[in-house]
Amino acid sequence: MEGVNGDGSLIKLICCVKNSDWGRIGRESTVARLYYRNTGIEIDLDQPYAEFWMGTHESGPSYVVQGEKVTLKDWIERNPRVLGDHVVKKWGTNLPFLFKVLSVAKALSIQAHPDKVLATSLHKEQPFVYKDDNHKPEMAFALTEFEALCGFVSLEELKVAVKTTPEIVEVIGNAKAEQILNLNEDDGEEEVRLVLQSAFTDIMSVRKDVIAEVLAKLISRLNIEDQARHLTDKEQLILRLEKQYPADVGVLAAYLLNYVKLNPGEALYLGSNEPHAYLYGESVECMANSDNVIRAGLTPKHRDVKILCSMLTYRQGFPEILKGTVVNPYTMRYLPPFDEFEVDRCILPQQSTTVFPSIPGPSIFLVMGGEGTMTTSSDKVVTEGDVLFASANTKITVATLSGLHLYRAGVSSRLFE
């Protein structure tokens, strides 16, 4: 098998799709288009196509296209040197990252991902719900305008929400509302955190019949006020979420979370134990190699409100938006503060060439559009939907006549400094 020593192999992968009901339908979905180009399997025009997975996770494995059909995970276990010594030493024969494309038509659940300690205990206690024992820091890179809820709003914004939304006060009670309004920046971080945790837990734990009644009042009030004034972005979002998930507690909880709008080319990263929900748009996503999700709102799936409310950091303030750093004239790098991954975006214009230098760790390349060649010891013609695994210590020259748009996921370059 060519390149099994980690010295220049570039291997095509057949990848996996997820058809969750929040995905874009049929040909509207970039995920569907990539999956069709990658596998040749026709698109079902009535089916949602939500996620395109590239990696070794058993919930959505990629396969090596080389002689016999074998999972990438099994192939790496047989040929561990393709990961490079640094990676094998730190993570064993596991590919440390999972690469995805998301096509989001409606909101995903309000969720968080456990840290390593919590993931290990959840997997041990409920292996059918929590499928692995790994943490899952992640980053979403916007392909289109991309909307998300992420992290808790600042103290100032929380106070505005309580003052202007009587339905929040109805759920958390007057005493807790007063407590929030009386907080100030001089109060200790821990005191503010405990009050926020208490209010968020009250909202997430409210009875179904109560939240249905409260949301009916909220939606009625906003629809009336919409005739008299311009609703805020958050209020317009609340109306949208309620149409997608009627009588769902996550609609009210959205007031406590930052509403983030990414432009194409911007990225958002999330550590363990941070609440978030992707709302709309298409993105490239990279994360530690895990599928652990703890959900508590905006979902028909299993919810674990108690664990979610107890695990969160309750850090407040708007999240950092990554705009990328220049690697060369055609390539931008997005480097979140996690060891497991980084993402490069490369847009090659007509009749141009660039080089991805040899690095001590593995990479996965995704061709998002166009056509070109990727050269190691020999040329590989690549086109939209192609996914390639590059072994550690592989220098790759990429060239195109017509233009090429590709992404690379790899282990964080900080690890090799």
Structure pTM? Answer: 0.93
Q: Is 126 marked as binding a ligand?
A: no
Phi-psi region of 38 (alpha: psi -120 to 50; beta: other; left: phi over 0): alpha
Q: Report the alpha-carbon distance of residue 192 to residue 31 in Å, rounded.
A: 41
What average pLDDT does the segment 84-108 reach?
A: 95
Burial grade of 24 (CB within 10 A; 0-12, 13-18, 19 or more): buried
What average pLDDT does the segment 97-113 reach?
A: 95
- The pLDDT of residue 4 is above 80: no
To 5 degrees, how large is the angle CA 223–CA 225–CA 230?
105
295 belongs to the catalytic site: yes
- pLDDT, one tens digit per residue, over 153-175 is 999 999 999 999 999 999 999 99
Phi-psi region of 298 (alpha: psi -120 to 50; beta: other; left: phi over 0): left
Q: Is 276 marked as binding a ligand?
A: yes
pLDDT for residue 378: 79
Q: Is 111 marked as binding a ligand?
A: yes
Local confidence band at 6 (pLDDT 50, 70, 90 cut-offs): very low
- pLDDT, one tens digit per residue, over 354-406 is 999 999 999 999 999 999 999 997 788 999 999 999 999 999 999 998 999 99
Local confidence band at 291 (pLDDT 50, 70, 90 cut-offs): confident
- The pLDDT of residue 53 is above 60: yes
Token digits for 323? 């705009």
**Is pLDDT larger for residue 58 or for residue 126?**
58
pLDDT for residue 132: 67
Least confident window among 159-163, 231-235, 256-260, 293-297: 293-297
What average pLDDT does the segment 134-142 reach?
A: 86
- The pLDDT of residue 3 is above 60: no
Least confident window among 247-261, 287-301, 393-407: 287-301
Q: Which amino acid is at 343?
A: V
What average pLDDT does the segment 219-239 reach?
A: 96
What one-character-per-residue DSSP string does 172-237 give? H-HHHHHHHHH--TTS-HHHHHHHHHHHHHHHHT--HHHHHHHHHHHHHHHHHHHHHSPPPHHHHH
Whether the CB-CB separation of 53 and 43 falls below 8 Å is answered with: no
Ordered domains of the chain (ranges, CATH): 150-322 (1.10.441.10)
Least confident window among 50-59, 202-211, 371-380: 371-380
Whether the CB-CB separation of 122 and 307 falls below 8 Å is answered with: yes
- pLDDT, one tens digit per residue, over 303-314 is 889 898 999 999
- Find the catalytic residue in 24, 193, 229, 295: 295
pLDDT for residue 162: 97
